[in-house]
Structure 1
């Protein structure tokens, strides 16, 4: 509860209210004010969240009625916050309030630390995932290169085998040609020997050897 008891310190009270409202914009507050010149009602209570603050008045927004009430600081007797509020640097807090504030700060620090740890963990997991994907891609590339090498080796073996077959075919072909020549040579020898025998028997001249 905050109030003023010295009417000759209105300027100080105005600054005090302005400081409190500025530090707690958006929070719910109950304001008790008096209006001496009002003949219908002298005192009035306002409930709402702090919407706007100036150097002379505050605007409260009532979510239930939809009204926005502008209350001059000079008419405010006291106010009550329905939820925790920040007293600001102009007030000295009790040890309990200070303890609550320290606890709140500690909770915020722990939350920030937890968020930072989660962020670091997520980054580390992402880095590990990227590294695993990179290793997997490298292994796949190595495997693909190995398959290419095996295919090249297989093609080279097939080429060598085909060359060997062609070479053997040439050898076989050459051997066949030699064989035909040899047979022809043998036939010529037989013919010569036959003619030679006939000439000897007939006492004729010796025939010329066609292979010589």
Structure 2
């Protein structure tokens, strides 16, 4: 705007948004290995109005996740329709195929992509917990004898962790790890106390989650 011999210039301010696209994607395959559920952590992200988030993925059957190189996003990507809790569920499931996943943020003409997460479903199995857990105090030695059964799936070897505590209100758990049989014998201080016993399992010497 010009007034006499002076001019006033008014510049429009640009809208600048700083978006952290470092998302943590974690996955878990159920004990019967029928589906894999993947979640992503939004890290409290605040997006500009009118933007949208998409959970994208590719499935590779020609190469292992460990051997992947270069740009993994790819033009053959598909969008996962997220569930109620922003979860992506893969079913039917290809246990030994590499699943490549990332988050895309779309705003006007701009697309931001997070670093991809590469997951093989067989490596993230969370087994169902052992069942038919039994515990008794041996009459002669006064040991706590604990036994249990494992599920048929997954078929690979499992390792177990056993913990026990007296039934008092302020429980102090004692843990026995690296158990590879379906039985454990533990020495207790007082064989006359009522004990609470818990058993969990995971893949032996491998990746995966505790039950």
Q: RCO greater where, 1 or 2, for CA within 8 Å and sep 6 or more?
A: 2
Structure with bigger helix share is: 1
Greater gyration radius: 1
TM-score, shorter chain, exceeding 0.5? no
- Bucket of the pairwise TM-score, normalised by the shorter protein: under 0.3
Structure with bigger strand share is: 2
Normalising by structure 2, report the TM-score: 0.18
